[in-house]
Structure 1
Amino acid sequence: MQPENPYAAPQVALVDAPAPRPLSGWSVGQLQLLGWLSLVSLLGSLVVTGLVLLVDEQVDLALRRAMDALSLATVLLGSYLLLRLKAFAEQRFQACGLAFPVWAMVLLGLLLEGLDLLWGDGLFNRIDGKTILYFAVLVLLGIATLWLGIRLLRTPGAYPVFRVMAWMDIVGGGMLASVLLMVLAILPLLGGSLCMMLVFFRAAAELRGQSA
């Protein structure tokens, strides 16, 4: 048996792993509700995307109005969830630098939706000032999404699914900003919405464990 070496380095961690920051003002039910709302937003986006790709909007005016209403509701819900995600990340992980890209995404998303409601299919009949403005806003929205993804990726101590969400925003934002790949950008952006749902459910489970 080897004698103990009093000069050997200690074999235990000298500093305990940091405990999760308390989520004051948040409840399990609230976080679960945000998770379910994220699922609703994801399903709404899927329905809108499917209708845009598969349905001839000129056939039925009522269908077009229903699509516009659903699209607007989805954008508003997505904006709300994005703001709640910002508040959660800042409190739980001490994330910083989220305010500008988040608010830019909210405002640009609403502006883009407003332009689509105002001008509709006329945006793509020919290239004019309206079309250039629309795509300029689209590029800025992509840049803001990319920026947010980078800030989320730099958040210390985040959940693994949180980092996956950040990468989805980075990829989707870059594709959106390219304009040429904006249709394909739908896939990673929908993936980001799915990850947001999982982040809220993960946070709810964590908070439930702290209360037990």
Structure 2
Amino acid sequence: MDQNPYAAPRVELIEAHPPAAFASGRWTPGGLRLLAGLSLALLLADLVLFCLSLLGGLQPGTALERYSLWLGVLCTLLGCYLSWRSTRFLVDRFAARGLGWPLWLSIGLALLTQAYAVVFDRQLDGTPNAPLAGFMALFLPSGLVGLWYGIRVLTINLPYPSVKVMGWLDVLSGVCLASVVLFIPGTLLGALALLPMALMFLRGARESTTSAQPS
């Protein structure tokens, strides 16, 4: 009964040998661990920023608002960098396709949104006005682009489990942001996607270490 049609397939879910673009030395174990650490640091910073934003809304006009503004700038810049590096990793490790346009559009929209927040900082205090309406309107294209990116991630063939989780969180975050009214849970879901991103980099570091060992 060696040919049992009901037996589970005896194949590796992840390629036994990473592709040449991944194993060529472009991705080192130390560099991947650093990216994982930056992902976790950004997750922590995003959570701190969320708390500061809530406290600033309860106590307008305090120094908390200024701290939130510049922490948001740093988080945006680091987030753009990690988005770029994670996309390059997906392309090199899994030959992912179709991520270029949503990546650069998401980076452009993130920078535009953050610049808007800096310019209209005084007017974005929760009071209904034209600058606040413009700021909220930016969530729609940001959410649609995030949804597009997440769908492309979910089409990757045989990725790490953490990549699938990251893709689903991107999809859910994009849907929430595109609805505008659910921008708060959408923002939190986007931040939580940094956790599977860190796990992805750590898995890649283990693979890179194994592939670098002499056989």
TM-score (norm 1): 0.87
Match of 1:5 in 2: none
2:183 partner SS: coil
Match of 2:28 in 1: 27
The AA in structure 2 aligned to 1:82 is S
Are 2:53 and 2:65, in contact at CA under 8 Å, matched by a contact in 1? no
Match of 2:127 in 1: 125
Partners of 1:180 and 1:138 in 2: how far apart? 9
Query: 1:48-197 residue pairs with structure 2 within 5 A?
Result: 48-55=49-56, 56=58, 58-61=60-63, 63-123=64-124, 124-128=126-130, 130-197=131-198
Partners of 1:187 and 1:26 in 2: how far apart? 29
Bigger shift: 48-57 or 106-115? 48-57
Q: 1:35 to 1:117 in 2, by over 3 A?
A: same
Stretches of structure 1 that go unaligned for 5 or more consecutive residues are 3-7
> Shift of the alpha carbon at 1:18?
6.0
The AA in structure 2 aligned to 1:53 is L
Partners of 2:68 and 2:191 in 1: how far apart? 18
Are 2:73 and 2:114, in contact at CA under 8 Å, matched by a contact in 1? yes
Count the aligned residue pairs. 203
Bigger shift: 135-144 or 83-92? 135-144
> Shift of the alpha carbon at 1:180?
1.0
Structure with higher Rg: it is 1
Partners of 1:31 and 1:189 in 2: how far apart? 21
Percent identity over the alignment is 34
1:47 partner SS: helix
Partners of 1:200 and 1:153 in 2: how far apart? 17
Q: Once the two structures are superposed, what CA deviation does each residue of 1:174-209 show, in whole Å capped at 9, x if it has no partner?
A: 001101111111332122111111111111011112
Partners of 2:144 and 2:43 in 1: how far apart? 21
Partners of 1:30 and 1:110 in 2: how far apart? 25
Q: Once the two structures are superposed, what CA deviation does each residue of 1:119-139 show, in whole Å capped at 9, x if it has no partner?
A: 1251442232x3333222211
The AA in structure 1 aligned to 2:119 is L
Stretches of structure 2 that go unaligned for 5 or more consecutive residues are none
The AA in structure 2 aligned to 1:138 is F
Could you list the structure 1 runs, at least 4 aligned residues long, displaced by more than 4 angstroms after superposition.
15-18
Partners of 2:47 and 2:27 in 1: how far apart? 29
Bigger shift: 179-188 or 151-160? 179-188
Are 2:106 and 2:146, in contact at CA under 8 Å, matched by a contact in 1? yes
Match of 2:40 in 1: 39
Are 2:146 and 2:171, in contact at CA under 8 Å, matched by a contact in 1? yes
